[in-house]
Amino acid sequence: MTQEQGSTLMELQDSEIANIAIDGTPGCVGRISAGPLTVGGQPMKRVSIPYEAAGETALELTFANGSRFRATASGVAVRVAGEGRFVESFAC
């Protein structure tokens, strides 16, 4: 059995982050190698989109080049426009 590998791209329609604080290192561009999201003290492996939550929220992105970005907030909401589009991956 063959499993297709790739990503689903979605256009971000709207997002809201309440009372945000941002900290990071220069060079936060490129591929993300890790990105844990914590909401209300609970680590979130996945969230359904659209997504909305109140409470202490933290997102920590680590990029492939080693740079890091951290945002903390008192709530988050994410909505997308249209349908997702599957993009096949040819990475080895």
Mean pLDDT across 14-19: 60
Q: 78 or 38, which is more confident? A: 38
Q: In the structure encoding, which two tokens stand for residue 51, read together?
A: 């997504």
pLDDT at 52: 87
The span from the CA of 86 to the CA of 29, in Å, is 22
Q: What is the maximum alpha-carbon separation in the chain?
A: 47
Q: For a pLDDT cut of 70, what percent of the chain falls above it?
A: 75
Domain residue ranges in the chain: 9-82
Q: Does pTM surpass 0.85?
A: no
3 state SS of 33: strand
The span from the CA of 47 to the CA of 37, in Å, is 9
Q: Within 10 A of 58 (CB to CB), how many other CB atoms are there? A: 16
3 state SS of 23: strand
